[in-house]
Structures are given as C-alpha cells and as structure tokens.
C-alpha cells in the first residue's frame, strides 16, 4: 500500500485495510484464503465488516498480506502518527547503520524505547 501505517479505530477500518491491501496486491478472496489458511467465506465476511471475526484468523489474513499491527496507547491521530514515524525511522536507521542487523525487534519494542 502507499502508506507505512494506518490508524484503526473501528473493526470496519481493519476490514477496509484488508480489502484494500488484497485488491492492491491483485489477489482474489480465494487466493487470500489459501495464503492465510482460512476460507473464502471468512475473507468475504470479514471484508464486509463481520465484527465477531476470530482474532487469530484476522492475524493470519494480515500476515498473508504482509501487514503488521502496532498498538499504541490512546493518543490523538497526530501523536500516534508521530510515534509510528519515529519507530519506523529508528528501525530504518538501525538497519542502514549495520551491515548485519541486530537480533530482530518488534516495532512495539522500538516504540517502547521511545
């Protein structure tokens, strides 16, 4: 996708993100279901906004699309954007400064160092 982050406040936001990423990657619902080891029905229902979707299966969809979730405390949109941008900048700096990156850290670990 053309953005590095997306702020999610509602389940509909996450459904929209999955649908947009799937379409941008040129995948059908069936192809995404195969990649994520879920069913086409689950993908369809989730993309239509089914709120009772199983969290584990949603995470499988995100992983299959190459997406990750970073959780921040309640901040304004601008504060959240700054936190995520700073985390991405730290990751980018570390990777570019070292020929061999240090052991993998999760984005939340970088944000916690803030």
45 shares its domain with 87: no
- For residue 104, is it within any domain? yes
**Domain co-membership, 51 together with 28:** yes
pLDDT at residue 1 is higher than 50: no
Domain that holds residue 49: 11-64
Which segments of 1-106 does DSSP mark as H helices, in order?
11-24, 29-36, 40-47, 55-64, 77-97
Residues 87 and 59 in one domain: no
Q: What is the average pLDDT value for the chain, to the nearest integer?
A: 81
pLDDT, greater one: 51 or 114 = 51
Q: How many domains are there within the chain?
A: 2
Contact 62, 68 (CB under 8 A): yes
Rounded (5°) CA angle 111-113-114: 65
**Between 52 and 114, residue with greater pLDDT:** 52
Q: pLDDT by residue (tens digit) across 38-62?
A: 999 999 999 998 888 888 999 999 9
We report the CATH number of the domain holding residue 40 as 1.10.260.40
Query: Do 60 and 17 have their domain in common?
Result: yes
- Is 109 within the bounds of a domain? yes
Q: What local confidence, expressed as pLDDT, does residue 40 receive?
A: 95
**Is residue 33 exposed (0-12), middle (13-18) or buried (19+ Cβ within 10 Å)?**
buried
């Amino acid at each position: 996708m053309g953005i590095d982050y997306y702020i999610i406040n509602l389940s509909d936001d996450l459904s929209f993100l999955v649908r947009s990423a799937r379409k941008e990657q040129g995948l059908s619902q069936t192809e995404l279901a195969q990649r994520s080891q879920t069913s086409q029905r689950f993908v369809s229902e989730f993309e239509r906004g089914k709120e009772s979707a199983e969290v584990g299966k949603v995470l499988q969809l995100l992983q299959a699309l190459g997406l990750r979730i970073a959780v921040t405390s309640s901040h304004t949109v601008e504060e959240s954007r700054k936190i995520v941008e700073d985390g991405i900048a730290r990751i980018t700096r570390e990777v570019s400064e070292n020929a061999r990156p240090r052991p993998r850290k999760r984005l939340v670990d970088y944000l916690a160092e803030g």
